[in-house]
Structure 1
Amino acid sequence: MRNNTKKISLVCGLLLCLVGLSHAQGPNVPTFPAVNKQSMKDFMDLRFGMFIHWGPVTLRGTEIGWSRNHQVAQNDYDSLYKEFDPVLFDADAWVKTAKDAGMKYIVITAKHHDGFCLWPTAFTSYNIMQTPFKKDVVGALAKACKKYDIKFGIYYTVLDWYDRSYPVHNDGKGIAPDGDMNKFVQYMKSQLKELIDNYHPFLLWFDGNWEQPWTNDYAKDMYAYLKKLDPALIVNNRLGKNEHEILNEQSVGDYATPEQKIGKLNMSFPWESCITICNQWAWKPNDKMKPLKQCISTLALTAGGNGNLLLNVGPMPDGRMEARQVKQLKAMGDWLKQNGASIYGTLGGPFTPDSSFASTRKGNKIYLHLLNVSKKSLVLATIPGVHIQKAYLMTGAAVNFKENATSIELQLPDTLIPDSNDTVIVLQADKNVEDVVVVEKN
């Protein structure tokens, strides 16, 4: 992930101009292939996934990539793979944890900014087969995902501070004199083809698009290359140079990626918030974990904004996920067993979410997620052309309401609020509400 406190891009850009590296020029830009609409719909219907940040850096308990040359000396960081032996790694256990959490897809950091590869790539020796562990982590997870019917996705960063062909390094020396961006881009293509051919991910999650040598022309060329390899492949917008939260005609990618924040209600383009279950992306001893209510509220507010939630966990150096995180995820899964219809396959709205509640919709049903409602009633604006026929809890218990020309008022007795994390009320309408215009709450 991006660490906004450690920006070297501006300095690198100036140095790049001074040394006049010819590889700063991008290739000829091909015509974009069309986004596969069915693939995107299927992806957005999933709503909830697991992000996994993991690698040899867990031996130090510092942040993956970003702690290199900061909290951990470069030589130490780059040698950690020699000690990395996660003997308790169990791909089935990881994927089963995601399954029990109600998650529908997984994204693993196959290669982060530190350049270390969690699969036996043929294009660099800096990979998992050079560790004492010597097992293909990416391959094991791909196989386990197939077993448990979980979609499999791969994180792959654009920048690489280890590979000497990449012109920028975070070793304090700025531009690498022997850098060759065209050579590095070919290295990327070779590895990405290897990942697609060997593991068949449904999604590629890019990162590290902000540094100077990577241009939008490179991004467009890479996007077309990937779509030619697999037209159904989904690619996030961090392949191109635009801001993470935006998807527009200048973007290169299929969906936007707000980070460590919940995206705003947006019916114009698909998006996915990536948020950590603790504070750090990679494992950190005694890292503070978000409470269950916050995790469930985050999921509800994300779906209520018409987005997906990619919730991150960082496994430990021995290969296990922390028991407390597994327990927390299981509790989310238990909640989803009762309330999953209000999350999966829904659209956001029709009411704009806030800290008190969110709403989702599917068919002729509106799902109200009560997150912090302290009053005995909830007043909503009427939806033009739509009338509410009945209101009830997910358990089936009726909820009293009154509807007039301007408002819908729901009565909320304490006995009808069984879940302090997120109680869901269903409003059954007299017609399909998926195409109605988003309305403001009273």
Structure 2
Amino acid sequence: MTDTTWFTDARFGLFVHWGLHSLAARHEWVQKHEAIPTEEYGRYLEYFDPDLFDPVAWAETAWQAGMRYTVITTKHHEGFCLWDSDLTDFKATSAPASRDLLAEFTDAFRARGFKIGFYYSLIDWRHPEFPVDQYHPHSEDELAKAEPRDMGKYVEYMNGQVTELLTRYGQIDIIWFDYSYNRPGVWGGKGPDDWESENLLKLARDLQPGILVNNRLGIPGDFATPEQFQPSNPPTQDGEPIVWEACHTLNGSWGYDRDNHRFKSPDLLARMLIDSVAKNGNVLLNVGPNGRGELEPTAVERLSALAGWMRLHERSIRGAGASDFQAPTDMRFTQRGNRLYLHLYTWPLKHVHLQDMAGKVAYAQFLHDASEVGLKWHGGAVHSQLEDSSITEDTLTLIVPEQKPDVLVPVIELFLEEA
């Protein structure tokens, strides 16, 4: 069983989708969406020159936001490689960039203290042996659909590239394969038999013992990856809890999308992170750098807002997880040892009632400034006019100010009585 301790302790990671699609600046699936022929799409290689790429700055921005691991697209569906692969010329070293961008990224993030993850697309619209399917840019081209292609040769290519990635860059902590789609209604869909997933998984583990592998090979991995939604309950497999990570975009696009300004608000991002940790999950939050190698100003602003919140509230996230205690409606509990953290999504009027917690809390304070929060329980009336049948002798009531603290999501730290 692979040790996932560091992963579940970190809780928050940076996803990076970067490649030739950043020049098109119209979504990372632009080649498919606009049915751009392979040769025509290849022209972006002639112009890819991210002269402002500063991975040290990226790493610092992410670190301050509270992220402790990163996953970068070494190759997305377009087939373009950020590293100097020996198996293709469709790579950064063949572009005006003329250098191994993956090496620069990995060195900078590892130096800052990040665990390193590599995303690798199982799909490859560039490779001549990858069979055309419903998701391929040539899916409407009858000639392309009729071409005989050898999936075995493509699998050999994948194994060769994964070997390069897992032998050239030191310790790699995660490999994030993407993805299987052998489901009804998708013609030409591909899954574990096509990828020879068992062999690919074994290869990864042989080359990097201890590496974490996601679940998108179509066979069980070390963690599940719900995408662009928050599970209503902690995910399970065969009725048992599993390690999981919700992956999210800032604005609905993974790659740089110049005209997409639908950015999630800072407080929503904070609530997504809290909600995941409260259900024993992680968040992998994505940025899509532009063609010159810079993060969008709005992305930096959002990460900076999270940095401000995480500086004050990190201990309710890092190393924390689900609690057996039940939080009130529109609030979330996380727990770390004998400390319980109540995250208030909406601000109450003076009182927060916690059921079945009377006598279980020794002290309470706001986490952002360590100011005391008053405690009362049945027998010490909260208000002379209060009549609430839900309040019993087992109810603990927190006394909060009328004014909400000036933080994205206020957190009350509860020190539990020693058992």
Q: TM-score, normalised by structure 1?
A: 0.82
1:286-365 paired onto structure 2 within 5 Å: 286-288=259-261, 289-351=263-325, 356-365=330-339
Q: Is the 8 A contact 1:378 1:412 kept in 2?
A: yes
The alpha-carbon deviation at position 177 of structure 1 amounts to: 3.1
Q: Partner of 1:430 in structure 2?
A: 417
Would the alpha carbon gap of residues 390 and 137 (structure 1) be closer, same or farther in structure 2, given more than 3 Å must change? same
**Deviating more after overlay: 331-340 vs 258-267:** 258-267
CA distance in 1, matches of 2:355, 2:329: 17
Structure 2 portions without partners, runs of 5+: 183-188, 236-240, 379-392
Q: What is the deviation of 1:344?
A: 0.3
* Deviations, residues 229-248 of structure 1 (Å, cap 9, x unaligned): 122000011121xxxxxxxx
Give the match for residue 45 of structure 2.
Answer: 81
**Overall identity of the aligned pairs, in %:** 32
Task: Specify the SS of the correspondent of 2:292.
Answer: coil
1:161 aligned to 2:130?
no
Identify if the C-alpha distance between structure 1 residues 347 and 285 changes in structure 2 by more than 3 Å, giving closer, same or farther: same
The 1:353/1:190 distance shift into structure 2, 3 A limit, reads farther
2:9 to 16, 41, 45: 45
Q: 1:215 aligns with which of 180, 189, 192?
A: 192
- How much does 1:91 deviate? 1.4
Deviation, structure 1 residue 336: 0.8
Q: 2:229 aligned with 1:258, yes or no?
A: no
- Aligned CA distance change for structure 1 residues 351 and 259 (closer, same or farther; 3 Å): farther
Contact map agreement 1:167 1:213 (CA 8 A) in 2: no
Matched, 1:232 2:210: yes
User: Would you say 1:414 and 2:412 are equivalent positions?
Assistant: no
Output the CA distance in 1 between the equivalents of 2:36 and 2:129: 21
Distance 2:115 2:30 in 1: 30
**Greater displacement, 104-113 / 367-376:** 367-376
2:249 equivalent to 1:276: yes
Partner of 2:384: none
Q: CA deviation at 1:354?
A: 8.4
SS in 2 for 1:232: coil
Decide which moves more: 207-216 or 224-233: 207-216
* Alpha-carbon distance in 2 for matches of 1:349, 1:146: 32
- Are the structure 2 counterparts of residues 214 and 304 from structure 1 closer, same or farther at C-alpha, using a change threshold of 3 Å? same
Shift in CA distance, 44/323, structure 1 to aligned 2, threshold 3 Å = same
Higher radius of gyration, 1 or 2: 2
Q: How many residue pairs were aligned? A: 383
Are residues 1:193 and 2:163 paired? yes
Contact 1:281 / 1:313 at 8 angstroms: preserved in 2? yes
Output the aligned Cα RMSD.
Answer: 2.1
d(CA) in 2 for partners of 1:420, 1:366: 19
Deviation digits for residues 415-438 of structure 1 (CA, Å, limit 9, x no counterpart): 5x3134111101111247xxxxxx
Instruction: Report whether the alignment pairs 1:401 with 2:375.
Output: yes
How far residue 358 of structure 1 moved from its aligned partner, in angstroms, is 1.3
Equivalent residue, structure 2, for 1:24: none
| SS of residue in 1 equivalent to 2:83 | coil
* C-alpha displacement of 1:79: 2.1
- 8 Å CA contact 1:365, 1:429 repeated in 2: yes
- The alignment status of 1:109 with 2:62, answered yes or no, reads no
Does residue 377 of structure 1 match 2:351? yes
Q: Map of 1:57-206 to 2, 5 A cutoff?
A: 57-64=21-28, 66-71=29-34, 73-74=36-37, 75-169=39-133, 170=136, 171-172=138-139, 173=141, 175=145, 177-199=147-169, 200-206=171-177
The Cα shift of 1:373 comes to 2.9
- How far does residue 69 in structure 1 lie from its aligned partner after superposition? 3.8
Aligned-partner Cα distance in 1 for 2:42–2:159: 23
* Separation of aligned partners in 2, 1:76 and 1:92: 33
TM-superposed CA distance for 1:127, in Å, is 0.8
TM-score (norm 2): 0.86
Residue 13 of structure 2 aligns with an amino acid whose one-letter code is G
SS at match of 1:392: strand
Structure 1 residues not aligned, in runs of 5+: 1-34, 241-250, 433-442
SS of residue paired to 2:33: coil
Cα deviation, residue 401, structure 1? 2.2
Q: Is the 8 A contact 1:263 1:307 kept in 2?
A: no
